[in-house]
Amino acid sequence: MYLNDFEYFAPKTCGEILDLVGRLGTKAKILAGGTDLLIMMKEKMLKPDYLIDINDVQELKGISYEPGKGAVIGTATKISEIEHSDLIREKYFALSQAAGELGSAQVRAMATLGGNSCHASPAAETPPPLVALGAKVVVKSIAGEKELPLEEFILGNRKTTLAEGEILTKFLLPEPAPRSASRYSYIGLRDAMEIDAVNMAVNLALEDDGRTVKSLRMVMGSVSPVPLIAVEAQGILIGQVFNQELMEKAAQAASVEANPISDIRASAEYRREMVAVLARRLLQQAFNAASGTKEGNW
Amino acid sequence: MNKPNYTQVGRSVPRIDGPLKVKGEAIYTDDMVLPRMAYGKIKRSPYAHAIIKKIDYSKALELPGVIAVITGEDGPNKWGIVPQTANEVALAVGKVRFWGEGVAAVAAIDEETAEAALDLIEVEYEPLPVLLDPQESMQRANEVRIHEDAPENILHAGEQLFGDPDKAFAECTYVLEKEFHTSYVNHAFLEPHTALASFDTPSGQLQMWSSTQVPHYLHRQLSIVLEMPMNKIRVTLPAIGGAFGGKGEASPADFCAALLSRKIGRPVKVTYERSEVFATNKGRHPCHMKMKIGLDQDGYIQAIDFDNTLDGGAYAGWGIVVMFYTASMIHLPYKVPNARARVRRVYTNKPTCGAMRGLGGVQPRYAMECMLDEMAEMVGISPYELKMKNAVESGYLSVSNLHVPHTEYKKCLQTAVEKSGYLEKHGKLPFGKGIGLAGGYYISGTAYTLYQAYKPHTTVLIRVDTEGGVTVHCAAADIGQGCNTVMAQMAAEELGIRYEDVHVVSGDTETGTFDLGSFASRLTYASGVAIKDAAAQINQKLKEVAAGMVGCRADQLEIKDGRFYSKFEPKKAIEWEKVVDVYTNAVGTLVGIGHFSPPRLKGIDLTRGKRVQGANIGHSPTFGFSCQIWEVDVDLETGKIRVAKVTEAGDCGQAVNPMSVDGQVEGSIMFAMGQALYEEMRLDAEGKMINASLHDYKVPTAMELPEIDTTIVDSYDPTAPFGVKESGEGPVQPTIPAITNAVYDAIGVRFTDLPITPEKVLRALKEKQALNSECSGS
């Protein structure tokens, strides 16, 4: 359970990081929270020659918000900060919920938002709500920076678009639409410390009438190598007056769209069924919240 | 007998070991660092069954910092907790029989070097077919043999017959026969096995510090493997982070540390990773059981037929004992006039099964309590009524000669039923909500040592002087269950002083007097007898001195609240310390020594008056009883079972420390709930464990903790010291069947295999639905 020998860097600025990653290339790994990286190193799945600790780089940390434009979350922002942020809770509730379910309290105090996406585990908690909320990531290299939607950034199980010399610096979350609400939930054996068998985030916006679905994002986790957008299911509800029958159809469509595998946590069949259950529950919750019926954001 | 008015026994006092643990100052074995200490690591087999063709560790020895490497040949003597079946070795010799079995061990200047050296040890294996299922293991025994001396791949098989069950079944009105399967679970104690050995070459003395619950049995096994006399070995227990049976045998960590230390003349410490704890398992036996129960027209049990195939894993361990315990457990807590048990413990290529909290009881209790729940429905009465009808009473003698000197089992059933509102809820809750009842019992110590000997099982020495005050010496193992605290309370009670003024020296084979170990829920009872014996000697001597000081006869003196006084003229009194001062000045340090030997009870078929093989196992000086009622909500869409509430009532005799009893009960409930709903070690087709971490092996978290309402029912066993019984293993017995019965009440499905996962629940709900629509469609 010992780490291989490596050289450790603790740069103070983004520029220094870019210089290091440009120079060291694939032999280096970024150390953010370390909650995935160090375990993989202990288990000898990774043996990087260099670790670049980005925790001293202030510009990569924190949550900021500008009304009308949305939020910016630095890649090295701790999950616990997101979990406890009033702003995230108020504006991006699904992300707040997912952050609260990631690992244990100890893990959340160390882990970062950027790490959760860069590690690109299919069972990760935060990518589905981020994709549902329309998050974009900013990828930077010495050559410059680019923005792309998170769903285009994550390519597969532990695969992202990050090329040599590139780092993820921040997440851009658009201002939530009026009369919209987002919700997240998961299926697992226990109510804490769980690796999700299935998870899902829903972000639903209503027209002025408070009944017609204006836009909808449904994103499933742990049922495909990447956060999977339930395109068919969304199509069933968008532009329609929200009702039980359509909701059920959408849930069934999501279940068909899911592409799960069987593993130690659950069978593919069970996962597929749970997609429908989560879809039904989350759609109803999000609709209720967006239309102002019954429960509010809590 | 009336219960005496105790002042120290029955007090909820904080645990002696509590403050240091809470402050993080308790020293566990792995915290210890000795000068020149080396670090040991064990190389483990990637195969579950293979011949070791060759081990080459020359490259490891070349690595700077590596001091020594040992293999099985360095300590090939066979050890085992049960001497008649001892077949384990410190490190594999010639063959590995389970994934993760140790094949070599390294000592190096630090742990990192030791770990690196493991990769440099080259082992050549010839893989053999892997047997993971006990049925398959028995069927393929002529083709694949796990142990040369077990031609059928069976460690041992036994049949016990009491009365005439066949005749009784023929006359029964209600007969039910079912199969049950239990899962492969581990204790998941917090502190992994760890051992620190320091061998002094000039004197030939070995000092061991180890995380064990059986210092005495470890002492014996070290003597066998190291070929050293026991008086040259000292075993000391630092703080222990839980054991639950998993440290109820020596572990290869102990032997490797000791063998390496002797080889290099330096202290060596071996601490397991969590994956090694799983690889060397010794957890609960998966049982494949068939049970048949017969009731007469009035619902009285007439006969039980029990067939059990225990999946033992690779080695013997506690196997034969666990096997006969499962057979004995059908005789209580109900009156069973006729019974037969056919049991066999089978070898498979898995990490070995062993002792785990409530050993031998949990599996048959699951079957029996679920079946009685179902049979109550056949009879048309509530499970509560059926169990009350059949419950044993004080003085009961089973057909197998188990003697129950005292029981409040009926009071447990009544209390839990009343407090939970069971009768108002059972069968009447909406679909998806359910309530389930189950009872259980457990031994309070055993009648025999594991090796042939009839010496006292526990000896306590109490020392009194003006300098140290009162010190209780006993080599008992406080593994977190709190025996040091209750020993202090019982000694204080008997000496007439306060618990706070008693020191306990335990967990050391040199400074402590003999004790067998912490298992079989034996210590409160056993040490209680010895403490009373030792304290009586001290009281007698002090009374003789006090008598002269207050001016009355010694036999008229009482001792209470730190004072000697005449029971006829209470004004004639003197402080306890003053008497000790006078005694010490005149005579010197005062000691009393007391022993406990259990009654030698025999397993006899009372209808024939014949001894029955293996039936000595299961006897105990007394038994604890309890009842649990679980309320569950089943999510009908996801199959997830959420526990709403647990109502428990237990008979642990006189509780010495009620707060500690509550802790044992709550801990037991969480412990057994894990096996019922979440936990299971999983192996791939080659026998490699795929969830050997607490990440993937799912013990319940605080989030799963249900509301728990416990009651210590009023009880006092007049035959027991201070009226005590066990409280640490009985409460795990009813949990699994109570949950299973509650799930039945919720959704009408009786689960007969564990754990009851959401996926199984959902599948069962669908099958039920399909069946219903089929029936209504036709």
pLDDT digits (tens, 9 = 90+) for B65-111: 999 999 999 999 999 999 999 999 999 999 999 999 999 999 999 99
A190 lies in some domain:
no
* Average pLDDT in chain A: 95
Name chain A contacts of B761, Cβ cutoff 8 Å. none
pLDDT at residue B745, rounded to an integer: 98
Please determine, for residue A297, whether its predicted confidence score (pLDDT) is greater than 50: no
Residues A141 and A223 in one domain: no
Name chain B contacts of A187, Cβ cutoff 8 Å. 638, 640, 758
A8: contact with B, CB 8 A cutoff: no
pLDDT, tens digit, 9 for 90 and up, residues B235-248: 999 999 999 999 99
Residue B777 binned pLDDT confidence (cut-offs 50, 70, 90)? low
Separation in Å, CA of B644 to nearest CA in chain A: 14
Separation in Å, CA of B111 to nearest CA in chain A: 9
B361 lies in some domain:
no
B112: contact with A, CB 8 A cutoff: yes
Whether the Cβ atoms of residue B441 and residue B727 lie closer than 8 Å to each other: no
B63: contact with A, CB 8 A cutoff: no
pLDDT at residue B232, rounded to an integer: 98
Separation in Å, CA of B109 to nearest CA in chain A: 15
Residues A202 and A151 in one domain: no
Last residue of a domain, which of B555, B570, B596?
B596
Whether the Cβ atoms of residue B703 and residue A192 lie closer than 8 Å to each other: yes
By Cβ distance, the residue of A187, A190, A192 closest to B638 is: A187
Please determine, for residue B778, whether its predicted confidence score (pLDDT) is greater than 80: no
B169 lies in some domain:
no
By Cβ distance, the residue of A189, A273, A277 closest to B698 is: A189
Question: At B506, which CATH number?
Answer: 3.30.365.10
pLDDT at residue B775, rounded to an integer: 75
A193: contact with B, CB 8 A cutoff: yes
Cα A146 → chain centroid: 19
Whether the Cβ atoms of residue A212 and residue A206 lie closer than 8 Å to each other: yes
Name chain A contacts of B192, Cβ cutoff 8 Å. none
Which secondary structure element, helix H or strand E, spans residue A115, and what is its range? helix A113-119
Report long-range pairs for A37-42 (Cβ below 8 Å, ≥24 apart): A37/A115, A37/A119, A38/A3, A41/A3, A41/A4, A42/A1, A42/A2, A42/A3
Residues A169 and A204 in one domain: no
Burial class (CB in 10 A: 0-12, 13-18, 19+), A274: buried
B207 lies in some domain:
yes
Interval B289-295 mean pLDDT:
98
Name chain B contacts of A193, Cβ cutoff 8 Å. 695, 701
Instruction: Tell me the CA distances in angstroms from A107 to A42, B298, B307, one per residue in order.
Output: 16, 59, 47
A296 lies in some domain:
no
Last residue of a domain, which of B227, B258, B279?
B279
B769: contact with A, CB 8 A cutoff: no
Distance from C-alpha of B195 to C-alpha of B212, rounded to nearest angstrom: 9
Residues A111 and A75 in one domain: yes
A41's tokens: 């190193």
B759: contact with A, CB 8 A cutoff: yes
The range of the structural domain enclosing residue A284 comes to 196-291
Length of chain A: 298
Separation in Å, CA of B143 to nearest CA in chain A: 31
Interval B556-582 mean pLDDT:
96
Please determine, for residue B526, whether its predicted confidence score (pLDDT) is greater than 70: yes
Separation in Å, CA of B704 to nearest CA in chain A: 7
Please determine, for residue A202, whether its predicted confidence score (pLDDT) is greater than 80: yes
Residues A150 and A221 in one domain: no
A298: contact with B, CB 8 A cutoff: no
> Is the CB of A189 less than 8 angstroms away from the CB of B758?
yes
Please determine, for residue A257, whether its predicted confidence score (pLDDT) is greater than 60: yes
Question: At A166, which CATH number?
Answer: 3.30.465.10
B702 lies in some domain:
no
B374 lies in some domain:
no
Interval A221-250 mean pLDDT:
97
pLDDT at residue B774, rounded to an integer: 78
Whether the Cβ atoms of residue A279 and residue A254 lie closer than 8 Å to each other: yes
> Is the CB of B696 less than 8 angstroms away from the CB of A264?
yes
Residues A45 and A75 in one domain: no
Residue A194 binned pLDDT confidence (cut-offs 50, 70, 90)? confident
Last residue of a domain, which of A142, A174, A206?
A174
Distance from C-alpha of B57 to C-alpha of B34, rounded to nearest angstrom: 27
Residues A254 and A161 in one domain: no
Name chain A contacts of B757, Cβ cutoff 8 Å. 189
B554 lies in some domain:
yes
B685: contact with A, CB 8 A cutoff: no
A112 lies in some domain:
yes
Residues A127 and A67 in one domain: yes
Interval A265-286 mean pLDDT:
97
Residue A92 binned pLDDT confidence (cut-offs 50, 70, 90)? very high
Helix axes B758-777, A268-291, angle to 10 degrees: 90
In total, how many domains does chain B have?
A: 2
By Cβ distance, the residue of A187, A189, A273 closest to B678 is: A189
Q: Choosing among A45, A190, A272, which should be mutated to test the B contact, i.e. which has the most B CBs within 10 A?
A: A190
A185 lies in some domain:
no
> Is the CB of A2 less than 8 angstroms away from the CB of B116?
yes
Interval B577-599 mean pLDDT:
96
A208: contact with B, CB 8 A cutoff: no
pLDDT at residue A196, rounded to an integer: 86
Strand A180-187 and strand A198-206: pairing? Answer: antiparallel
Residues A22 and A119 in one domain: no
Name chain B contacts of A190, Cβ cutoff 8 Å. 678, 698, 700-701, 703-704
Interval B185-204 mean pLDDT:
98
Residue B469 binned pLDDT confidence (cut-offs 50, 70, 90)? very high
Output DSSP code: residue B704: G
> Is the CB of B678 less than 8 angstroms away from the CB of A277?
no
> Is the CB of A264 less than 8 angstroms away from the CB of B690?
yes
Question: What stretches of B597-640 adopt beta strand conformation (E)?
Answer: 604-605, 610-611, 623-634
Residue B229 binned pLDDT confidence (cut-offs 50, 70, 90)? very high
Interval A178-191 mean pLDDT:
95
pLDDT at residue B1, rounded to an integer: 55
pLDDT at residue A295, rounded to an integer: 45
Question: At B239, which CATH number?
Answer: 3.90.1170.50
Separation in Å, CA of B38 to nearest CA in chain A: 17
Distance from C-alpha of B112 to C-alpha of A3, rounded to nearest angstrom: 9
Distance from C-alpha of B577 to C-alpha of A221, rounded to nearest angstrom: 71
Burial class (CB in 10 A: 0-12, 13-18, 19+), B112: middle
The range of the structural domain enclosing residue B65 comes to 32-128+187-279
Name chain B contacts of A2, Cβ cutoff 8 Å. 111-112, 115-116
A186 lies in some domain:
no
**B427: CB partners within 8 A, 6+ apart:** B745
Name chain A contacts of B698, Cβ cutoff 8 Å. 189-190
In total, how many domains does chain A have?
A: 3
A12 lies in some domain:
yes
Whether the Cβ atoms of residue A161 and residue A155 lie closer than 8 Å to each other: yes
B777 lies in some domain:
no
Last residue of a domain, which of B578, B596, B614?
B596
Separation in Å, CA of B71 to nearest CA in chain A: 22
Residue B3 binned pLDDT confidence (cut-offs 50, 70, 90)? confident
Interval B655-676 mean pLDDT:
97
Residues A92 and A154 in one domain: yes
B638: contact with A, CB 8 A cutoff: yes
Question: What stretches of B425-467 adopt beta strand conformation (E)?
Answer: 433-443, 458-465
B111: contact with A, CB 8 A cutoff: yes
Cα B257 → chain centroid: 25
> Is the CB of A195 less than 8 angstroms away from the CB of B698?
no
pLDDT, tens digit, 9 for 90 and up, residues B408-465: 999 999 999 999 999 999 999 999 999 999 999 999 999 888 888 889 999 999 999 9
> Is the CB of B703 less than 8 angstroms away from the CB of A192?
yes
Distance from C-alpha of B737 to C-alpha of B378, rounded to nearest angstrom: 18
Name chain A contacts of B762, Cβ cutoff 8 Å. 270, 273
Name chain A contacts of B644, Cβ cutoff 8 Å. none
Count other C-beta atoms under 10 Å from residue B764's C-beta: 18
A191 lies in some domain:
no
Question: At A283, which CATH number?
Answer: 3.30.390.50
Residues A99 and A162 in one domain: yes
Distance from C-alpha of B487 to C-alpha of B237, rounded to nearest angstrom: 17
Residue B612 binned pLDDT confidence (cut-offs 50, 70, 90)? very high
* Average pLDDT in chain B: 97
pLDDT over 70, % of chain B: 99
pLDDT at residue A193, rounded to an integer: 86
Q: Which residue of A has its CA nearest to B637?
A: A277
> Is the CB of B758 less than 8 angstroms away from the CB of A270?
yes
> Is the CB of B762 less than 8 angstroms away from the CB of A189?
no
Residues A25 and A102 in one domain: no
pLDDT at residue A298, rounded to an integer: 37
Distance from C-alpha of B540 to C-alpha of B529, rounded to nearest angstrom: 17
A18 lies in some domain:
yes
Phi/psi at A39 (5° precision) = -65, -45
Please determine, for residue A296, whether its predicted confidence score (pLDDT) is greater than 60: no
> Is the CB of B682 less than 8 angstroms away from the CB of A264?
yes
